[in-house]
């Protein structure tokens, strides 16, 4: 029997596999094939970088997994991993763990110290790999270098503040590792008491209730995965995690 060989390599080192990789990803996240190919073609050593898992089987190479690494803005020496995927018929064989460990090794070799991710329903899997709950991070992809740093800083602050206001969880401060952000105190508001010596103005007549808003149906991007369709429209179901690498 021929020995099976599996390796994780940058996609741009095997450009002839781009279309096969695009087709694999589209089995889970449906998208125009041309658009998917274009997004994969920007893979490069300096990030964003798509890593593929290639299995040499029966005398040919086939793509069985993918993970994309991007730089995270607003957090020193941090990267973000997304689109982690193993072909459905090969799950439960350790390939998911292997591609994550290889992605961490690749990112560490580029000088990154932390890896961030978000997930809908794989918290247990990532926890077993050492990931812990985290605040969200901002990623701007291949065009991040074109955006002024002041704008990136403002976007990062807004992103974290919005996350904090929805939670009382205590997260590490992304800009200063010696301090912490406690969300419940960051988002508290201060009310000024009125002067008791000044009489209050008469109450305004109560306005009639507003008519009910029309029901708007949320639409998710097309996907063959019903679980993703049921959850992707609800941002409160997204869990952010991170790991020191």
In order of start, what are the domains of the chain with their CATH numbers?
A: 5-183+234-244 (3.40.630.30)
Q: How far apart are CA 6 and CA 68, in angstroms?
A: 18
Q: What predicted TM-score, i.e. pTM, was given to this entire model?
A: 0.69
Per cent of the chain over pLDDT 70 is 62
Q: Tokens at residue 134, please?
A: 């985290």
Q: What pLDDT is stored for residue 59 in this prediction? A: 86
Q: How far is CA 37 from the centre of its chain?
A: 20
Stretch among 26-35, 169-178, 206-215 having the lowest mean pLDDT? 169-178
Q: How confident is the model at residue 237 (pLDDT cuts 50, 70, 90)?
A: confident
Q: According to DSSP H, which parts of the chain are helical? A: 18-26, 33-41, 95-109, 123-128, 149-164, 183-186, 226-231
Q: What pLDDT is stored for residue 204 in this prediction? A: 65
pLDDT digits (tens, 9 = 90+) for 77-124: 999 999 999 999 999 999 999 999 999 999 999 999 999 999 999 999
């Amino acid at each position: 029997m021929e020995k099976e060989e599996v390796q994780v390599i940058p996609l741009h080192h095997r450009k002839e596999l781009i279309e096969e990789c695009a087709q694999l990803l589209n089995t889970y996240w449906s998208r125009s094939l041309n658009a998917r190919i274009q997004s994969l073609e920007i893979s490069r050593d300096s990030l964003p970088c798509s890593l593929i898992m290639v299995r040499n089987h029966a005398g040919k190479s086939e793509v069985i997994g993918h993970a994309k690494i991007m730089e995270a803005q607003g957090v020193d020496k941090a990267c973000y991993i997304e689109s982690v995927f193993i072909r459905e018929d090969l799950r439960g064989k350790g390939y998911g763990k292997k591609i994550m460990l290889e992605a961490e090794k690749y990112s560490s070799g580029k000088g990154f110290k932390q890896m961030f991710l978000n997930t809908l329903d794989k918290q247990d899997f990532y926890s077993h790999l050492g990931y812990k709950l985290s605040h969200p991070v901002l990623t701007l992809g291949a065009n991040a270098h074109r955006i002024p740093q002041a704008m990136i800083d403002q976007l990062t602050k807004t992103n974290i503040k919005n996350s904090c206001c929805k939670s009382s969880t205590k997260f590490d401060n992304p800009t200063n590792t010696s301090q912490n952000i406690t969300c419940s105190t960051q988002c508290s508001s201060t009310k000024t008491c009125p002067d008791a010596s000044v009489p209050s103005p008469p109450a305004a007549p109560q306005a009639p209730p507003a008519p009910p808003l029309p029901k708007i149906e949320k639409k998710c991007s097309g996907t063959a995965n019903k679980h993703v369709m049921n959850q992707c429209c609800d941002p409160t179901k997204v869990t952010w995690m991170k790991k020191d690498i």
